[in-house]
Chains A and B, each alone.
Chain A
């Protein structure tokens, strides 16, 4: 059972859903307040969705300086799995743990509806139970979801297979290359704009998001079986 720290910022509003989704996947999730410096021996850290600090200045710009981010950054640099969902993704970009930035949706509207995405990278701790090119339906709920990065960075993301999810059929927010989620070079830090935690049970309209959390939990067994865990030296830095 993996210990999953879910960081709560003032304005987080998907923390409870994320906790439920992690628990449903068999993990041992708990909340960590953003002022805490201690992740309490977390195996995995998740920054959930919401509107930290009211999205003042820019989405994620102020949360990125919360005291907990030092511990989150250390966890990521040691190769620990780190997932940012929606506002969590925005915070990871602001913190420089993921490349690019998330800007106002191209058509300016706040989008809250299901969208279609393709899984493009399955060699991350959060996607290894999916198949490449598998199509998912996941809900989005964001006003600032347009992924933007300079051409060199996007070319690098494509060449290194670091686009983890891509919108398909339509590009709801005008993201560069329809990017819905990316990972870092070490592949342990992952960000996604749609909400897998809102689509992990039939009662929620589908189960397409469940394997994000099942992957995270299953990685534990795999890593133990292989005798490699974070800190074993095979993980590259951020």
Chain B
């Protein structure tokens, strides 16, 4: 077993309204950052996981996303695995 650090990015699906992202975009415009276009707000999770290999760690993390960490109706996720 080795320790891995897994970073998971969960984002609201592109086709769905993201009111938090819109509010942030408006606030940035109000501060004078006129160059800002679309903003989307998601979640970033960092997990420390014991696994036999990097592939094993990634497979387990994907299962965690499918079951709990991301909602398949509204969110997409990406993950990155590195040795801890």
Contacts and interface: CB of A to CB of B under 8 A. Distances in A.
A104 B43 CA distance: 14
A104 B19 contact: yes
B10 to A, nearest CB: 9
Nearest to A62: B68
Nearest to B68: A61
B19 A108 contact: yes
A94 B68 CA distance: 9
Contacts of B63: none
Contacts, number: 34
Chain A interface, >50% SS class:
loop
Q: Bin chain B's interface residue count.
A: 10 to 19
A101 B20 contact: no
B69 A57 contact: yes
Given A148-B73, A149-B73, A105 B19 contact: yes
B19 A58 contact: no
A182 to B, nearest CB: 13
B71 A106 contact: no
Q: Bin chain A's interface residue count.
A: 20 to 34
Contacts of B23: 108
A121 B71 CA distance: 28
A113 interface: no
Interface in B15-70: 16-17, 19-20, 23, 68-69
Contacts of B20: 104, 108
Contacts of A65: 68
B74 interface: yes
B19 A106 contact: yes
A62 B71 CA distance: 12
Nearest to B70: A58
Interface in B66-83: 68-69, 71, 73-74
Contacts of A100: 73
11 contacts: A58-B71, A65-B68, A93-B73, A100-B73, A101-B73, A101-B74, A104-B19, A108-B19, A148-B16, A148-B74, A149-B73
